[in-house]
Amino acid sequence: ELVVQFQVLNQSCQCLAWKPRPAGVWPRPGESQHVVAGYSDGTVRVFSVSRTEMELKMHPHAAALTAVTYSTDGEMILSGGKDGIVAVSSPRTGMTIHVLADHKGSPITVLQCTRKQYHELGVEGGELWLAASSDRRVSVWGSDWLQDKCELLDWLSFPAPAGPEGLDSLPPSLAAFCPWEHGVLVYVGFGLQKEALFYSLRKKQVLRKISLPAFATSLSLSPAAPFMALGFGDRLLRLQPCPAGAPQDYAGHDDTVHLCRFAPSGRRLLTASHSAVLVWELPGA
């Protein structure tokens, strides 16, 4: 059932994210859920689902947006553009407080935030976040938004051969913090081998690799159990136990599986291809 729909005329929505709720806090009666969306004109819009209205419009980018997310406490919005610029903006004031050009020149493919212990990895603040760009680079940051601090912790660059002829576009560069292994991130992308890499932020090295049947087009890590979902260009969805185990492959899509997303409970998985959205039940999760 379609509950609510927002339309912005003459602009395409390129990315979106739900505002997170504080852990363990149930919504109060009448409390609105919010969605942030990034558009092709470089604007960021915040929508209230319960009030069915746009509450805020910001313009932190000169290029089309390619990634957007909230900080873990919902107090900041991180957005990335086709030109590689990352902006950090406050939905309370509408002001952009940080503009980061480290990935300039390559579209941002992923932005993700996660909570951390106060002195974890030797940096102050309560949040880690990462940005990945299509040139196979990943930056990892430690932030304390209240103190206006944003510190680069690690810079990863993954090698790859020259682009193969006949491919219109290379597989995306995708990265995610590992929910079941703190201080570790997972990376997939075009490279020397078809594989998923587990990288330790503490040891500054790749801990292990998992071979894949092809270059992945989408990635999601379960928040409830140690396994990940991967989508591929040949209409294949794979559930991969970690760190080892027999993968389970599923058909059913009509095209490239360009999106995988676990529900917060880990019991459901949403996947999308060209004209189909599938919801999978995961009874063992």
CA dist 242 and 217 (Å) reads 19
256, part of any domain: yes
Average pLDDT on 265-270 reads 93
Angle at 283 between CA 281 and CA 285, to 5 degrees: 100
The amino acid occupying position 185 is L
Task: Read off the pLDDT of residues 122-163 as tens digits, 9 standing for 90 and up.
Answer: 777 789 999 999 999 999 999 988 888 899 999 999 998 876
Residue 163: predicted pLDDT: 67
Task: List the CATH number of the domain containing 213.
Answer: 2.130.10.10
131, part of any domain: no
Average pLDDT on 182-203 reads 94
Adjacency order of strands within the sheet including 277-281: 259-262, 268-272, 277-281
Q: Does residue 285 carry a pLDDT above 80?
A: no
Residue 116: predicted pLDDT: 76
Domain count, the chain: 1
Nearest one of 197, 195, 156 to 178, comparing CA atoms = 197
Q: Does residue 166 carry a pLDDT above 70?
A: no
224, part of any domain: yes
Among 141-155, 165-179, 270-284, the minimum mean pLDDT is found in 165-179
CA dist 143 and 128 (Å) reads 6
Average pLDDT on 195-206 reads 95
Average pLDDT on 230-256 reads 92
Residue 93: predicted pLDDT: 94
Residue 161: predicted pLDDT: 86
Distance of CA 1 to the CA centre of its chain: 26
Residue 118: predicted pLDDT: 54
Among 11-20, 38-47, 219-228, 274-283, the minimum mean pLDDT is found in 274-283
Task: Read off the pLDDT of residues 66-114 as tens digits, 9 standing for 90 and up.
Answer: 999 999 999 999 999 999 999 999 999 999 999 999 999 999 999 999 9
Residue 21: predicted pLDDT: 79
φ/ψ bin of 183: left (φ > 0), alpha (ψ from -120 to 50), beta (otherwise)? left
Average pLDDT on 194-206 reads 95
Q: Does residue 165 carry a pLDDT above 70?
A: no
Strands (E), 61-136: 65-70, 77-81, 86-89, 96-100, 108-115, 127-133
46, part of any domain: no
Distance of CA 105 to the CA centre of its chain: 19
Average pLDDT on 187-194 reads 94
79, part of any domain: no
Angle at 282 between CA 257 and CA 131, to 5 degrees: 50
Distance of CA 68 to the CA centre of its chain: 8
Q: Does residue 229 carry a pLDDT above 80?
A: yes
Whether 271 and 253 have beta carbons less than 8 Å apart is answered as yes
Could you list the residue range(s) of the whole structural domain that residue 196 is in?
158-284
Burial of 247 per CB tally in 10 Å (0-12, 13-18, 19+): middle
Q: Does residue 23 carry a pLDDT above 70?
A: no
Adjacency order of strands within the sheet including 149-157: 108-115, 127-133, 137-144, 149-157
Q: Which residues contact 136 (CB under 8 A, 6 or more apart)?
A: 157, 158, 159, 160, 173, 189, 190, 191
Tokens of 218: 């989408």
Greater confidence (262 vs 244) lies with 262
Average pLDDT on 59-69 reads 97
247, part of any domain: yes
237, part of any domain: yes
219, part of any domain: yes
CA dist 238 and 216 (Å) reads 10
